[in-house]
Amino acid sequence: MLRTTPFDTIAAISTPPGEGGIGIVKISGENTFDIVKNIFHPHGKKDLNNSVRSFTMRLGYIKGDEDIVDEALVSLMKAPHTYTREDIAEINCHGGAVAVNKVLRLVLMKGARLAEPGEFTKRAFINGRIDLAQAEAVLDIVRAKTGKALETALTQLKGSLSEKINGLIQKLKDILVMLEANIDFPDEEDTTAVDIDKLKIATHSVQKELKTLIASYDTGKIYKDGVLTALAGKPNVGKSSILNAFLKFERAIVTPIPGTTRDVIEEQLNLNGIPFILADTAGITESDNVIEKEGVKRSRTCMDRAGLILLVFDGSCPLDRRDFELAKKAKSGRYIPIINKTDLTLTLNTEELVRKTGMKPDFVYLSAKEGTGLKELEKKMTEMVVTGNTGGDYSLMVTSSRHYTILKKALKELLYAVKPPDGDMEPELMAYDVRSAMDILGEITGEVTTTEILNEIFNNFCIGK
Ligand SMILES: Nc1nc2c(ncn2[C@@H]2O[C@H](COP(=O)(O)OP(=O)(O)OP(=O)(O)O)[C@@H](O)[C@H]2O)c(=O)[nH]1
Ligand SMILES: [Mg+2]
């Protein structure tokens, strides 16, 4: 897999567009220093030609054939101890669209090629500095929405997942050795005879570890991607008021008129390290109004997509058919029933609601107007999506759907290995399944990979990473 042949030299702007303190043009490849020498004129006497020392910074002018383009600080890093394992230069220009773009254009004119998305990290992988799971962690770090997501991604970047996978592959290799001894010398007795029970125990132990990793994905995915959480209920129950109370500003329009919200309004809220994507929706009702009808349609779609529904009832209003209908719909997924407007007299009959819909009676009592009950709701939301749901406090979490799919495939092979569909446990067939599980697991770290897999992964990156 290791490839150390030189690639062409690539360059890109590594900072986000828009105004900023600095903008960075990053260059990697064997012509990096030649290109920099060509366009960079350091202040002071020391010429760059004789002094390209790794991990040094120089201040000077970036010049085209005639004009000065910018004054910049240039960092120089020599292969192989760099991000890509190639020569790298980072030109720290003044932030803002013009200077950085002009510098990039100059670098490209002098022979670099514009980098593809994720190409710097792809080179780090291809040149063997990091494995594929670690490369994916880089993207997760860039995209982390909460401290917890960052922590999980950093653990993966440090190689914890890769170590675990490599450990499992090693265990499978040991099983294979036992099996192959038997295949090679089927008639010999004593030492070479395969001990089926021992093999079964060893395989089950790998299966168990795979199952734990697979189970961690429910939690891992939540920490990484967040949970779409729909505020649902009939009109005027206070959904938008709850959204605003959470966000602590008047994000959505609130009026006493039923049917105020028409579109779905999404905002992110971080609770105990979990990103919740709160979606305020139009109140569910029957309507002839075209706009309201469309709003209700969107609310229903949002409820279907949501990982959690905050089902809101107005405590100051008697129940009606719409409440019952909504409760029945929400019941098929994960939901928290909320009685809002507790600052008013409670006229809603909770017993009737539970009896008629079969929903759970553990309501959260809230006054969006006064902000009471929010803490309890936050606690319940967190419990519901993490602890309550999976019971999981995992030392190692799988957060990528790609890894999850691979782990499930590998587990399936191992299940076949010890319990073949035809019931016949042949060492040859078992060896085949174990080997195939090993190959499948190798896709996580990139030990086994294809151009398509790499493209799929790195195309998700931004240019310049
Ligand atoms: N007293 C009291 N009034 C509330 C409370 N929450 C919301 N309201 C009022 O109820 C009315 C409707 O609130 P909204 O937040 O717009 O309700 P909604 O569910 O988003 O309504 P639609 O968008 O029409 O579906 C407004 O007049 C709010 O001020 C509360 O906790 N107590
Ligand atoms: Mg509303």
Out of 61-75, 175-189, 260-274, pick the least confident: 175-189
Could you list the residue range(s) of the whole structural domain that residue 26 is in?
A: 10-129
Same domain, 182 and 255: no
Q: Which ligand is nearest to the CA of 238?
A: 1
Same domain, 125 and 201: no
- pLDDT category, 390, cuts 50, 70, 90? very low
Question: Within 13 Å and on the Cβ side, how many CA atoms surround 126?
Answer: 17
Q: Residue 299 pLDDT > 90, yes or no?
A: yes
Same domain, 121 and 19: yes
Cα angle at 176 between 127 and 426, to 5 degrees? 140
Question: Within 13 Å and on the Cβ side, how many CA atoms surround 336?
Answer: 24
Contact 457, 441 (CB under 8 A): no
- What's the pLDDT tens digit per position in 107-121? 999 999 999 999 999
For residue 162 and ligand 1, the question of a CB distance below 6 A is answered with no
Domain-embedded: residue 200? yes
For residue 76 and ligand 1, the question of a CB distance below 6 A is answered with no
Domain-embedded: residue 2? no
Same domain, 375 and 424: no
Please enumerate in sequence order all residues whose Cβ is within 8 A of that of 206, keeping only pairs 6 or more positions apart, or say none: 168, 171, 172, 175, 414
CATH of the domain at 338: 3.40.50.300
Domain-embedded: residue 460? no
Query: Mean pLDDT over all residues of the chain?
Result: 90
Same domain, 18 and 109: yes
Q: Residue 3 pLDDT > 50, yes or no?
A: no
Domain-embedded: residue 454? no
**403 closest CA partner among 460, 449, 444, 456:** 444
Span between the terminal Cα atoms of the chain, in Å = 22
Q: Residue 391 pLDDT > 50, yes or no?
A: no
Same domain, 245 and 113: no
CATH of the domain at 431: 1.20.120.430
Domain-embedded: residue 463? no
More confident residue, 229 or 2: 229
More confident residue, 195 or 74: 74
Domain-embedded: residue 67? yes
Domain count, the chain: 3
Same domain, 189 and 303: no
One-letter amino acid of 424: D
CATH of the domain at 107: 3.30.1360.120
Report how far ligand 1's centroid is from the alpha carbon of 371 (Å): 13
pLDDT above 90 covers what percent of the chain? 72
Same domain, 191 and 242: no
Task: Tell me the three state secondary structure of residue 384.
Answer: helix
Q: Residue 184 pLDDT > 80, yes or no?
A: no
Same domain, 197 and 248: no
Mutate to test the pocket of ligand 1, among 231, 234, 236 (most ligand atoms within 8 A of CB): 236
Rounded to whole angstroms, the Cα distance separating 141 from 5 reads 29
One-letter amino acid of 18: G
Tokens 């990484």, residue located = 224
Q: Supply the pTM of this predicted model.
A: 0.82
Same domain, 188 and 60: no
CA distances for 250 relative to 216, 229, 240, 369, angstroms: 37, 19, 9, 12
| Boundary (domain end) residue, out of 350, 370, 390 | 390
